[in-house]
Amino acid sequence: MRKPLGIGALLAAACALSLAVGTKDIPVTTVFEALTAFDPGDVDHLIITERRVPRTLAGVFVGAALGLAGTLIQGVTRNPLADPGIFGVNAGAALFVVLGIAVFGVTSLSGYVWFGFAGAAAASTAVYIIGSLGRGGASPLKLALTGAALTAALSSLQSAVLLTDPATHDRFRFWQVGTLAGRDPDVVGQALPFLAIGIAGALLLGKVLNGLSLGDDVARSFGRNTTTDRVWCGLAVVVLSGAATALAGPITFLGLAVPHLARTLAGPDYRRILPLSMLIAPVLLVLADVLGRVVARPGEVQAGVVTALLGAPVLVALVRRRKLARL
């Protein structure tokens, strides 16, 4: 009980920093006033409510979604190096965003959200359907190989479009880097229902993942339908990863490393790992976003770049210390 409370306190502190720190630092007292007694004539209040609150909410929900999606994928595939990209999520979302820009002339973030979500969902569904064909059904190895193959194919198609359309490439690269900046309330509001549904559904799958982690034969001996269990987990991953990637672009590291951090703290029980992953990932993402705002003032380094730079050494340190629990 203490660990979730402690991480929850860290998340609250990270959100407070996100609201107060930026190109213009704003006192915490002013942040509190903006949230409790909003004055539309106060510029600081407008900055907080119109820019930083949606950005912080996006960081919290995107982080929670990616942390849970990574935990689900690693549990389903029993692969400690799996992350949302293994189901073709990033590649599918990226290809559909590129097509939205090149074919339909989409230029707004609100448009990217829907194309990105559709692409992530389509790619993830295709991976599961193809990986389910043949003897043995959707085994962890077949899903991983199918995901890798489809990711390569979709990335090739994306590159073909970008190489022939420089204007599309110029627009796409700002989404591709992975960022929470510029997410206004309308854009965040479109993605939040999907994120909330996915998060709620994922938290109910702890018992399912515990069964799958024992292997298919053992899970079946306990009366589990492993095919149905994987379908439910796959649907949750589609919703979580699709909505998060569509809203913020491809954010790396969180889906890969956060489940390991959660296992280090919680042990092998996924009923405890999932809630901890949901709390740890947004702490890291929000803090990465805050750090990106202050290291290159008056500009900023995008959150996706910061998580990639900080994430690799953390994951290597965890592996070297052999603190990774068995799946």
- Give the confidence band of 54 by pLDDT, cuts at 50, 70, 90: very high
Contact between residue 3 and residue 265 where contact means Cβ atoms under 8 Å apart: yes
Indicate the pLDDT class of residue 325, thresholds 50, 70 and 90. Answer: very low
Q: Cβ distance 150 to 126 under 8 Å?
A: yes
Q: Mean of the pLDDT values across residues 202-218?
A: 86
Per the document, the length of the chain is 327
* H/E segment holding residue 28: helix 28-36
Residue 39 confidence (pLDDT)? 86
pLDDT higher than 80, residue 267 = yes
Q: Which helix or strand (DSSP H or E) is residue 145 part of?
A: helix 140-164
pLDDT in the model for residue 326 = 46
pLDDT of res. 138 = 66
Q: Would you give the DSSP letter of residue 136?
A: T
Checking if the pLDDT of 324 tops 60, the result is no
For 72-81, 99-108, 174-183, which range has the lowest pLDDT when averaged over its residues?
174-183
| Confidence (pLDDT) at 320 | 67
* Coil, helix or strand at residue 195: helix
Q: Mean pLDDT for the chain?
A: 84
Crossing angle of helices 226-248 and 53-77, rounded to 10°: 150
pLDDT of residue 315: 66
50 token code pair: 């119109």
End-to-end C-alpha distance for the chain, whole angstroms: 22
Helix %, strand %, coil % of the chain (to 5)? 80, 0, 20
pTM over 0.75: yes
Task: Say what angle helices 53-77 and 140-164 make with each other, to 10 degrees.
Answer: 140
Percent of the chain exceeding pLDDT 90 equals: 23
Q: If you average pLDDT over residues 22-44, what whole number do you get?
A: 87
Give all domains of the chain, ordered by start, each with its CATH number. Answer: 2-320 (1.10.3470.10)
Two structure tokens written together for 312: 């690799």
Tokens at 54, concatenated? 């949606």
- Rounded Cα–Cα distance for residues 273 and 262 (Å): 5
**Confidence grade of residue 274 (pLDDT, cut at 50, 70, 90):** very high
In this prediction, residues 239-251 reach a mean pLDDT of 85
Distance CA 179, CA 299 (A): 13
Is the predicted pLDDT of residue 308 greater than 50, yes or no?
yes
Which pair of tokens denotes residue 60? 């919290």
**48-52, 58-62, 105-109, 112-116: least confidently modelled range:** 105-109
Cβ neighbourhood burial of 310 (10 Å; 0-12, 13-18, 19+): middle
